[in-house]
Amino acid sequence: MEFDPNLPWRTIHGHGFNAHVGPVSFARVSDSEWRFFLDIEAHHINIGGVCHGGVSLTLADIGMGSGAYAAGGNRPCTTIQMDAHFIAAAKKGQRLLGAARLVRATHELAFMECELHAGGRQTLRASGVWKYLSPRKG
């Protein structure tokens, strides 16, 4: 997967925990596919000198969750299940580029898949389920 500068990128600085990870940039490719990226900086690096696995998991969660949110008509949703396989490490200075895809959506759930790539190599493969939240009463 290569970075496409021609996609309609939008940078999100996030809030709460996500603000510590980002900013993350997003682009909608289709009604069921999104791209996103994070530039790996010093605070993303673990003691082994590579991108911390928690950063990769968080980016995958943000990317798939944002896709589920968009696919559900901007309905809030929450992660209820996520599986991930680490394949290779990203390094400081690399762009961690993700692709998320909606596999299936019901009224209550979104099933998502995701890949992350850095330096021309796949670094992570993940899938998960997001539950759409009911509007709060009161």
Question: For each of the chain's 138 residues, which pLDDT tens digit applies?
Answer: 899 999 999 998 878 888 888 899 999 999 999 999 999 999 999 999 999 999 999 999 999 999 999 999 999 999 999 999 999 999 999 999 999 999 999 999 999 999 999 999 999 999 999 999 987 776
pLDDT on residue 10: 95
Q: What angle do CA 86, 127, 30 make, to 5 degrees?
A: 115
Nearest Cα neighbor of 21 from 45, 4, 2, 38 is: 38
Q: d(Cα 106, Cα 96) in Å, to the nearest integer?
A: 30
Residues 6+ apart with CB under 8 A from 89: 48, 50, 51, 123
Please count the CA atoms within 13 angstroms of the CA of 81 that sit on its side-chain side: 8
pLDDT on residue 138: 60
CA 75 from centroid of its chain's CA atoms: 17
Amino acid at 40: I
What fold is seen in the domain 10-132?
Thiol Ester Dehydrase; Chain A (3.10.129)
Cβ pair 82, 100 in contact under 8 A: no
* DSSP 8-state symbol, 135: P
pLDDT on residue 125: 99
Phi/psi for 27 (5° steps) reads: -145, 135
Ordered by start, the domain boundaries in the chain are 10-132
